[in-house]
Structure 1
Amino acid sequence: MSIQHRTPVTVLGLGAMGSALAAAFIEAGHPTTVWNRTASRVAPLVAKGAAGPETVTEAVAASPLVIACLTTYEATLEALEPAAANLKGRTLVTLNSGSPSAARRTAQWAHGHRARYLGGAIKNVPSAVGAADTLLYYGGDREVFAEYEPVLRVLGGDTVHLGPDPDLAALYEMAVGGTLLPALVGFFQGAAALQARGLEAESMVRFTVKWFEMINSILPVLAQEIDSGDYSRPLSSVNVFAAGAAHDADLGKEAGLDMEWHRPFHELLRRAVEAGKGEQSVAVLTEFLKEPVPERVPDPGTESVIVGGQ
């Protein structure tokens, strides 16, 4: 193993993900230093060979590469503040959640303390850290990324540099992550509907996976429509989705479910239909997401769902 591959690494924040990151570096032979506010989380990694100094200042001073895996950018800055003077000449990599603006502020703070900065995100669960297909992406100085890419690749084989802007990982994290909660709540709704009939949620897993595979297959087509702005050859139109929206209320009544989470989706469909886009691809909803939500006075005599684009 080369000297570069044995670059000392410090990992700050030892939740489930941070602990997995540190363990991967230890296993790969990197001198690894770990720090966490709760000292009990340090001991298992020290037992595996990591150094566990008491203070964050000592932890930062131990390595040229410092990886912070705390909950937010704000938490990262709070934890690092006592060690700010020790960051000079080191590279700070953040792997936490937060907005692009928070990533830019963190980068500015790091640069103000004479540190180099990469903003990153890991798109998998802790148990997948180190796997060949685990995706991590980073934004920031390409030369810094190139210098540490072999080290960062220890965390996942699908390691990507997005570009020079330090907030790109946060931007992509939120852009990609926006699909997660709606997809999961949809699955939870389906599970609740099955249980209302005495059926098990497990019985729908195979079919849901197939559904996700179908969605996966059409994403390139939808992305092309969005990038070109041409929604005239739909795989599925706004009207088709609007017609299907009526069934949500029926299912809710039959199974005794709270269906309120559908309301903003139905409203988005309504806006598209009222704008005359019913026969266009459902991807045209992207254009309505770019617009401020118009103020609407509810009509108590009408349903909140459009049926058949009428």
Structure 2
Amino acid sequence: MSEDNRAPVTVLGLGSMGRALAEAFLRAGHPTTVWNRSAAKAAPLVARGASHAPDVRVAVAASPLVVACLTTYDATLEALAPAAADLPGRDLVTVNSGTPAGARRMAAWATGHGARFLDGAVKNVPAAVGRPDTLLYYSGDRAVFDDHEATLRALGGDTVHLGEEADLAALYEMAVGGTLLPALLGFFQGAAMVTARGLEASTLVPYTVKWLEMIGSVLPDLAEEIDTGDYTEPASSIGIFHAAVAEERLLGREAGVDASWQEPMYDLLERAVAEGRAEHSVSALVELLRRRPRAA
């Protein structure tokens, strides 16, 4: 596709991520229309060549492809409601937070108003949008993905369609995203410990990165154990993790840090051992996680 016939696109919502999406489309040469409830946020993009729509109806009408980057599905529905009559013949891509149920509700609303629908997730920070290795995945109408794949690749080179079910991107977004806060809290706890000794948190970074790379290297084997349901040949057993709990609690007290956020994990290990799973792979914890939480 030459720069003279780059497909036009509209971006709704100009928070940090929405702004990054619009900037990526502009860098790739796509005529880009932007809209935000607070019009002032559009000014820097207009200076770079974007067109500012005064209202959401004008924004939707401006392009065959509309990318909505608001906070939640409910916020997207609220923003698009005035433009419902302008949706027929448009392709709507949502990139926001929310549950699979929210994605299904969004898809039903969009298709019910004559639009084709695709849901998406950006698996990186706004500063990484547009890079060749930035991952975005989508789910929903495959024809929409195929028709706009070249345009969507302006947002990241690692662009994947997960399947026709509209809620798959939201499902994977939440399933993968569940690793983020625990990993960060682990780093923050380590930072609290070393800084209490007068050391800098930055000294942890190279070793933490190597540790995370190790974790990444064992995920395929752990996933295979989960998929087969065979936990009997562990590289790391539940018992090994359980045996370390007392020392980890002692270390928290010794270092003077609040490690109470780990207690639910320790409780999970305790329950697994009580069930006779001490010799099973740590991946067997998924069997406990598949159950409903116990009543308080």
TM over 0.5, yes or no? Answer: yes
Matched, 1:252 2:252: yes
The list of structure 1 runs, each at least 4 consecutive aligned residues, that deviate by more than 6 angstroms after superposition, is: none
- 1:113/1:4 Cα in 2 relative to 1: closer, same or farther (>3 Å)? farther
1:184 is matched with which residue? 184
Equivalent positions of 1:24-173 (< 5 A) are 24-173=24-173
For 1:159, give the aligned amino acid: T
Distance in 2 separating the partners of 1:61 and 1:257: 55
Deviates more, 1:1-10 or 1:80-89: 1-10
After superposition, the C-alpha distances for 1:86-142 in whole angstroms (9 at most, x for unaligned) are 111101000111100000000001011010000000001111111110000000011
Distance in 2 (alpha carbons) for counterparts of 1:81 and 1:295? 40
Partner amino acid, structure 2, of 1:39 = A
For residue 269 of structure 1, what is the aligned residue in structure 2?
269
Say which is worse superposed, 142-151 or 161-170, in terms of deviation. Answer: 142-151
Q: Which residue of 2 aligns with 1:195?
A: 195
Distance 2:82 2:163 in 1: 30
Residue aligning to 1:210: 210
1:293 Cα deviation from its structure 2 partner = 2.7
Per the alignment, residue 229 of structure 2 pairs with 229
> In structure 2, do the counterparts of structure 1 residues 4 and 177 end up closer, same or farther at CA, with 3 Å as the change threshold?
farther
Following TM superposition, by how much is the alpha carbon of 1:295 offset from its aligned partner in structure 2, in angstroms? Answer: 4.6
The TM-score normalised by the length of structure 2 is 0.98
Further displaced range: 241-250 or 271-280: 241-250
Distance 1:16 1:151 in 2: 20
C-alpha displacement at 1:199, in angstroms? 1.1
Task: Tell me the SS of whatever aligns to 2:254.
Answer: helix
Q: Could you give the per-residue CA deviations for residues 143-182 of structure 1, whole angstroms, max 9, x where no partner exists?
A: 1111111110111000000000011000000000000000
8 Å CA contact retained: 1:5, 1:150: no
Matched residue type, 1:93? V
Task: Give 3-state SS (helix, strand or coil) of 1:71's partner.
Answer: coil
Given that 1:5 and 1:151 are in contact with CA atoms closer than 8 Å, whether structure 2 keeps it comes out as no
Q: Distance in 1 between matches of 2:109 and 2:35?
A: 21
2:22/2:45 contact within 8 Å kept:
yes
**How big is the shift at 1:2?**
4.1
- Does the residue aligned with 2:181 lie in a helix, a strand or coil? helix
What displacement does 1:40 show? 1.1
- CA shift digits 1:60-103 (9 cap, x unpaired): 10000000011111111111111111111101000111100000
Give the whole-Å Cα distance in 2 for the aligned partners of 1:56 and 1:141: 23
1:208-266, Cα deviation, whole Å (9 max, x unpaired) = 01100100100000000000000011010000000111122112211211121111101
Distance in structure 1 (CA, Å) of the matches to 2:68 and 2:176: 21
CA apart distance, 1:5: 5.9
Instruction: Give the AA of the match of 1:198.
Output: G
State the alpha-carbon separation in 1 of the partners of residues 51 and 40 from structure 2.
14
- Following superposition, the deviation at residue 294 of structure 1 comes to 3.3
- Report the AA paired with residue 256 of structure 1: G
CA contact (8 A) 2:3 2:29 kept: no
Structure 1 residues 62 and 270: alpha-carbon distance in aligned structure 2, compared to 1, 3 A threshold = same
Deviation track 1:269-298 (CA, whole Å, cap 9, x = no partner) reads: 1111011000000000001001123357xx
Name structure 1 gaps, 5 residues minimum: 297-310
**1:295, 1:24 → 2: CA distance?**
47
Q: Secondary structure at the match of 1:291?
A: coil
**Given the superposition, is the C-alpha separation of residues 103 and 4 from structure 1 closer, same or farther in structure 2, using an over 3 Å criterion?**
farther
Alpha-carbon distance in structure 2 between the residues aligned to 1:68 and 1:89: 16
1:196 to partner: Cα distance = 1.4
Please give the TM-score of this superposition, normalised by the length of structure 1: 0.93
Unaligned regions of 5+ residues in structure 2, if any? none
Alpha-carbon distance between aligned partners in 2 of 1:293 and 1:174, rounded to the nearest angstrom? 18
* Aligned residues: CA RMSD: 1.2
Cα distance in 1 between the residues matched to 2:289 and 2:79: 36
In the alignment, the residues of structure 2 paired with residue 64 and residue 28 of structure 1 have an alpha-carbon distance, to the nearest angstrom, of 17
